[in-house]
Amino acid sequence: MSKEFRQAMAGLAMVLPSFAILMIVVIIPIFQSLVLSLTNETGGYDLNRYYDLFTDKGMRSNIIFTLRITLITCALVLLISYVLAVYMRFNQGPIVELIRKTYMIPLFIPGVIATYGLINLLGNHGWLARLLAEVGMTLPRIIFNEKGIIVANLWFNIPFTTMLLSSALAGIPSSVIESAKDVGAGKLRLFARFIFPLTYKTFLVALTFVFMGVVGSFTAPFLLGANSPQMMGVSMQQVFSVFQEREQAAAMAFFTFLLCSVLGAFYIRSMAKEENVKI
């Protein structure tokens, strides 16, 4: 038995447990959901469940609502996180130190607790509303609609995204920035020609994580969202548990998986182009 063969078998043995977990936890359930979503009342297979996703007014509005919330959240999270990361990278002082010491705190607060805190803070009878009432002001409605879902998702996603982008910005040599400044590059050009291209990979990673996390979120939309329209995760739970339509819920789950797969494919293709790999 050659050394190369032993090394190949050792590598395969180390990969097999992870691959087995992936098969059991991800691949097999996805395939089962697909088969179940194609099953009709007669025991045959058709696309009626997917047809209902786009022809039923309620289902269609839930899909549009989910995509709108996801896109708005992704844009806001990436913008705020990038500003915070750039500010911490190129500035010093007590404010920067305070941000560095506190921006990770939301990561250590469970989602249910954070959502409950937002209800107590921003609800009609929350402490912020009571505080404003003392000075004759009324708190506008922020939660129990799409704004509440967006606020909660900002709380959940900004810390992790900022951490990713900060790590990428920390890897940019200061000499590159100083050299660009020496040849007259302004702040906008410096960002467009140097900072963003050097952090593009991490930006895509952050975008992928935020998109997948928001499009499949449940806790915040369930507790802070309106009754209609609903995010796909909440709608899926009701279709499965309340209406007992397992096939329709499976179609919604597989459609959500396809949405995430589109972004995942875009990410992989972009990374492959960066490495000059032809897919």
**pLDDT, one tens digit for every residue, the chain (279 residues):** 577 777 778 888 888 888 888 888 888 988 999 999 999 888 889 999 999 999 999 999 999 999 999 999 999 999 999 999 999 988 888 999 999 989 999 989 998 999 999 999 888 888 888 888 888 888 888 888 899 999 999 999 999 999 999 999 998 888 888 888 877 778 888 888 888 988 988 999 999 999 999 998 999 999 998 888 999 999 999 999 888 899 999 999 999 999 888 888 888 887 777 665 444
For helices 28-38 and 246-274, give the axis angle rounded to 10 degrees.
130
Is 41 within a domain?
A: no
Is 268 among the domain residues? Answer: yes
- Is residue 204, in this structure, part of any structural domain at all? yes
Instruction: Tell me the CA end-to-end span of the chain in Å, nearest whole number.
Output: 35
Query: What span, in angstroms and rounded, lies between the C-alpha atoms of 60 and 53?
Result: 6
Which one-letter amino acid corresponds to residue 234? V
Query: How many domains is the chain partitioned into structurally?
Result: 1
Whether 225 is in a domain gets the answer yes
Dist CA 251 CA 33 (whole Å):
7
Query: For residue 45, what are the β-bridge partners?
Result: 39
Q: Tell me which residue range forms the domain holding 187.
A: 56-274
Is residue 38 domain-resident?
A: no
**Nearest partner of 164 among 271, 268, 81, judged by Cα:** 81
Residue 97 in contact with residue 123, Cβ under 8 Å? no
Q: How far apart are CA 206 and CA 165, in angstroms?
A: 8
The answer to whether residue 242 is domain-embedded is: yes
Domain-located, residue 181: yes
Determine the Cα–Cα distance for residues 107 and 157; give it in Å rounded to an integer. 8
Q: Is residue 47 part of a domain?
A: no
Q: What is the CATH number of the domain that holds 112?
A: 1.10.3720.10
Helix (H, G, I), strand (E, B) or coil at 9: helix
